[in-house]
Amino acid sequence: MRIFSALYTRVLAWSAHPHAKWYLGGLSFAESSFFPIPPDVMLAPMTLARPDQGMRYALITTVTSVLGGVAGYLIGFFAFEAVEPLLKDVGYWEHYLRARAWFENWGFWAIFIAGFSPIPYKVFTIAAGALLMNLPLFVLASVLSRGARFFLVAGLVMWGGARMEAHMRRHIDTIGWATVVLLVVAYFVIQM
């Protein structure tokens, strides 16, 4: 089933749009506080389309992601009671409880790990606010982890260039399905 190749082609076309930087920033902001799709899906193709702008795209993604993280923090700080039923309804409650336990044990490092990894960062931003984590420390952990992640993605894409793009285009469906399988396995491992 070749659904990822069509999606990949569409995202490459979006990445060439004159307002692509705004879309990237909006997606990065939203993903950090409430939206489920990570900004890497736009950052990588935009960097492929314009390698000379890769570091700029990584900076845009980092800044707007951290701002979105602060919005998530504020949601947790001011409106956790309103968000709590939503976390339960959309299946993030267990992730929230896990994030809460991580904060009690590791604080700064919990945000750092969540910001760099594919763990739902938004759950950690809301938990940080609900648990009254030190805001400057939260921002520092977010800047370091999100920046490391997005600059690494852009740097790898810039390094791979056209050769990587051709390889991705040829194998995108395999990569896409492998990612889905890994996410499902990770979900079940986390649930155990």
CA 177/CA 79 separation, integer angstroms: 37
Q: Give yes or no for residue 46 having a pLDDT over 90.
A: no
CA 135/CA 33 separation, integer angstroms: 15
Expressed in percent and rounded to 5, the helix, strand and coil fractions of the chain are: 85, 0, 15
Percent of residues, the chain, with pLDDT higher than 70 = 82
The pLDDT tens digits of the residues spanning 120-154 come to 788 888 888 988 889 999 999 999 999 999 999 89
Predicted pLDDT of residue 103: 78
Q: Give yes or no for residue 57 having a pLDDT over 70.
A: yes
Band of residue 16 on the pLDDT scale cut at 50, 70, 90: confident
25: Cα within 13 Å, side-chain hemisphere: 10
Whether 139 and 147 have beta carbons less than 8 Å apart is answered as: no
The pLDDT tens digits of the residues spanning 76-118 come to 999 888 888 887 887 878 878 887 888 778 878 888 887 877 6
Q: Give yes or no for residue 56 having a pLDDT over 90.
A: yes
Residues comprising the chain, all counted: 192
DSSP category for residue 117:
S
Predicted pLDDT of residue 55: 96
- H/E segment holding residue 34: none
